[in-house]
């Protein structure tokens, strides 16, 4: 069974950056990732590379930022006064919040707190990065009606609800 639109695909993946450091790996999580093919559950460059593959296929793919988590936008790194966070007692790097931008609502992460100045970054942490995936396809099956209506996979490796 070849991977195509509306298939439930299970993969083991290891994601490394350009220095070869592992960023994330399903092997460390213990079970493969299951996703619904053709529904934007995973980055487009990886989804495209999986089209037509089948169980047991192993391959490496390099995904450019435009097909991954997007380009890094310098204008999404901003310094804002602490008073912009009225009502938040304690601010520290790593805290996340949603804010409206000219590009629509985005998730911002606080990257630095320096006195009354807070630096926030609205880029995805992997924006601007080339993503190097090592992939093994471990299962392929047709999706259920319920999975298709939800747009994601249920059960093992997917959503439990
Ligand atoms: Zn669901």
Q: What is the pLDDT of residue 157?
A: 79
Three-state DSSP at 148 gives helix
**pLDDT (0 to 100) of residue 21:** 94
Residue-wise pLDDT tens digits, 77-123: 999 999 998 888 899 999 999 988 887 888 999 999 999 999 999 99
Rounded to the nearest angstrom, the distance between the alpha carbon of 115 and the centre of ligand 1 is 44
- Residue 39 Cα, ligand 1 centroid: separation in angstroms? 13
pLDDT at 161 over 90: no
Provide the pLDDT for residue 24.
94
Model pLDDT for residues 28-77, shown as the tens digit of each residue? 888 999 999 999 999 999 999 999 999 999 999 999 999 999 999 999 99
pLDDT of the residue at 137: 98
pLDDT at residue number 86:
86
Separation of CA 41 and ligand 1 centre (Å): 13
DSSP sequence for 45-70: HHHHHHTT--TT-EEEEEE-GGGTT-
Residue 151 has pLDDT above 90, yes or no: yes
How far, in Å, from the CA of 35 to the mean position of ligand 1? 12
pLDDT of 5 higher than 80: yes
Q: Which of 38, 56, 45, 41 is nearest to 132 (CA)?
A: 45
Residue 124 Cα distances to 8, 76, 121, angstroms: 26, 10, 8
Instruction: Give the number of other Cβ atoms within 10 Å of residue 150's Cβ.
Output: 16
* Rounded Cα–Cα distance for residues 156 and 141 (Å): 13
Confidence at 147, pLDDT banded by 50, 70, 90? very high
Higher pLDDT, residue 38 or 157: 38
Task: Please give the distance, rounded to the nearest whole angstrom, from the Cα atom of residue 137 to the centre of ligand 1.
Answer: 22
Tell me: pLDDT of 125 over 90: no
Dihedral pair phi/psi, residue 64, rounded to 5°: -70, 155
Using the mean position of ligand 1's atoms as its centre, give its distance from the Cα of residue 145 in Å. Answer: 11
Q: What are the structural domains, with CATH classification, of the chain?
A: 7-68+128-150 (3.10.50.40), 74-121 (2.40.10.330)
Q: And the tokens for 124?
A: 């995805």
User: Ligand 1 mean position to 136 CA, how many Å?
Assistant: 25
Report the pLDDT value the prediction gives residue 118, as an integer from 0 to 100.
96
Sign of CA dihedral 92, 95, 99, 102: positive
Residues with CB under 5 A from ligand 1 (ion): 150, 159
């Amino acid at each position: 069974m070849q991977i195509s639109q509306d298939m439930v695909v299970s993969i083991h993946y290891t994601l490394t950056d350009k220095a070869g450091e592992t960023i994330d790996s399903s092997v460390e999580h213990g079970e493969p990732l299951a996703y619904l093919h053709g529904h934007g559950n995973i980055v487009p460059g990886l989804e495209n590379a999986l089209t037509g593959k089948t169980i047991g296929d192993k391959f490496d793919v390099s995904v450019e930022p435009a097909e991954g988590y997007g380009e890094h936008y310098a204008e999404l790194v901003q310094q804002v006064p602490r008073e912009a966070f009225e009502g938040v007692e304690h601010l520290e790097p790593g805290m996340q919040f949603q804010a409206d931008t000219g590009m629509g609502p985005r998730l911002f992460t606080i990257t630095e707190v320096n006195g009354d100045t807070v630096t926030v970054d609205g880029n995805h942490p992997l924006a601007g990065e080339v993503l190097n995936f090592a992939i093994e396809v471990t299962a392929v099956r047709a999706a259920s009606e319920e999975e298709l209506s939800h747009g994601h996979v249920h059960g093992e490796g997917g959503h439990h609800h």
